[in-house]
Amino acid sequence: MKYRYLKEHDIDMISIGAAFLGTGGGGDPYLGSLLAKNAIKTYGPIKVISPMDLKDDDIVAPVSSVGAPTIMIEQLPSKDDTENALRLYEEYTGKKINAVMPIEIGGENSLIPMLCAASRDIPVVDADAMGRAFPECQMLTFTIDNHDVGIVTIAGGKNNKAILFPSSQEESEKMARNLAIAYGSSAIMCDNIHSGKIIKQSAVLNSLSMAQNIGEILTKKISPTTKIKQLCDDYHGSVIIEGKIKDVIRRTRDGFVFGEATIISDEEEYTLHFQNEFLLATKNSHPVAMTPDLICILDAKNMLPITTEKMCYGLSVISIALKANHKWYTKKGLELVEPKYFGYDYDYQSVEELKQRKMTNESKRI
């Protein structure tokens, strides 16, 4: 098999890019990078394989943390938990896992698979099942393509572990979320363990490479304006907010962090609404960007991404909206992640459509 090998610099770049693509969620990328770099020091460079180089019958296991990001800061994922979740699958099925992958390209969860990849000397697949981060476990391209969730394993807390047989992707979310809450709102999960053939057909391909490239852009010695232009040009983005955080409200319940961040810009008031991830941006209560589009937040001073748990009063921020993977704009994709699913009373509209609607309404008032 053809591999490329990740070193510490690569981990740093993936961490930054994944935090950007994670739209505020997926866990703290800094903590994930520390865990991955420690794995490199212990076991050597981490192997990455292109999804197109997988054999059709390879068994690929997504490995992720599930729970509330604010809890994960205090309760770090461990190599033992990742290994317990993988071993439980292998012991029950008698099948060997050939590769691992992120379930989402967001924050810490982009790097969790690297712990077991390094210790087991197996590759990480350059792919994920979201192309960003979403808060619930069934919000996957595998679900859009009607693949069963299969056997789910979960480990966490004080060496707890369980094997689940959910009847659907939605039931998997409920069962895993409840166990994660019982384990302290943080656990390691393996779900949607599929063949190489299915990964090539249904995953979001080359997303680790995309994250690494974004990390390289954000750390280049060029002006902030040039960085933003390059990001928007390369990834079909647009700036939607530039301002200062006035207030942040967070509530942890049901294994999620819910909240709103208020941003003041030129005497206009914007609000970012989140459930682990940023899902809706409004200006004076009117939408300017919404899920499944990515709402990405940068610290205006250092041009590094900010997760929901790091949002705080007085921080100057820039928000960029990007297009999601094309599968999210299908009928099935929108049913899974449209604003109304999360309780926001809007039908999905793109950033461009929302801008045009605003301009039309303003012209009618003149």
So what's the pLDDT on residue 75? 58
Determine the Cα–Cα distance for residues 153 and 166; give it in Å rounded to an integer. 11
- Say what the pTM is: 0.91
Q: What is the pLDDT of residue 264?
A: 96
The pLDDT of residue 187: 86
Mean pLDDT of 190-216: 97
Of 107-116, 264-273, 333-342, least confident by mean pLDDT is 107-116
Residue type, 198: I
Omega prior to 292 cis, within 30 of 0: yes
What's the rounded Cα separation, in Å, for the pair 13 and 16?
5
Least confident among 52-61, 66-75, 215-224: 66-75
**Mean pLDDT of the chain, nearest integer:** 91
Helix (H, G, I), strand (E, B) or coil at 273: strand
Gap between the Cα atoms of 272 and 317, Å rounded? 12
Q: What is the pLDDT of residue 156?
A: 85
Tell me what pLDDT residue 73 has.
53
Whole-angstrom distance, CA of residue 109 vs CA of residue 339 = 23
Tokens standing for 341?
A: 């699913």
Average pLDDT estimate for 314-342: 97
With cut-offs at 50, 70 and 90, classify the pLDDT of residue 359: low
Which of 54-68, 105-119, 178-192, 327-341 has the weakest average pLDDT? 178-192
DSSP state letter for 60? E
Model pLDDT for residues 123-157, shown as the tens digit of each residue: 999 999 999 999 898 999 999 999 999 999 999 87
pLDDT of residue 130: 97
Q: Does pLDDT of 239 surpass 90?
A: yes
Contacting residues for 217 by C-beta, under 8 A, at least 6 apart: 227, 230, 231, 234
Question: What burial class does residue 69 get, using C-beta atoms within 10 Å of its C-beta: 0-12 exposed, 13-18 middle, 19+ buried?
Answer: buried
Q: How many residues does the chain have?
A: 366
The three-class DSSP label of residue 245 is strand
pLDDT tens for each residue of 71-102:
555 556 667 888 999 999 999 999 999 999 99
In the chain, pLDDT over 90 holds for what percent of residues?
74
Mean pLDDT (whole number) for 17-37? 87
- Is the pLDDT confidence value at 363 over 50? no
For the segment 247-285, what is each residue's pLDDT rounded down to a tens digit?
Answer: 999 998 877 889 999 999 988 999 999 998 999 999 998
pLDDT at 185: 67
330 pLDDT more than 90: yes
Rounded Cα distance, 220 and 366, in Å: 44
Mean pLDDT of 188-205: 97
Q: Which of 19-28, 115-124, 187-196, 313-322 has the lowest mean pLDDT?
A: 19-28
Is 151 in a helix, a strand, or coil? coil
Average pLDDT over residues 159-182: 90
* C-alpha neighbours within 13 Å on the C-beta side of residue 26: 37
Residue 72 contacts residue 148 (beta carbons within 8 Å): no
What token pair was written down for 124? 């990480």
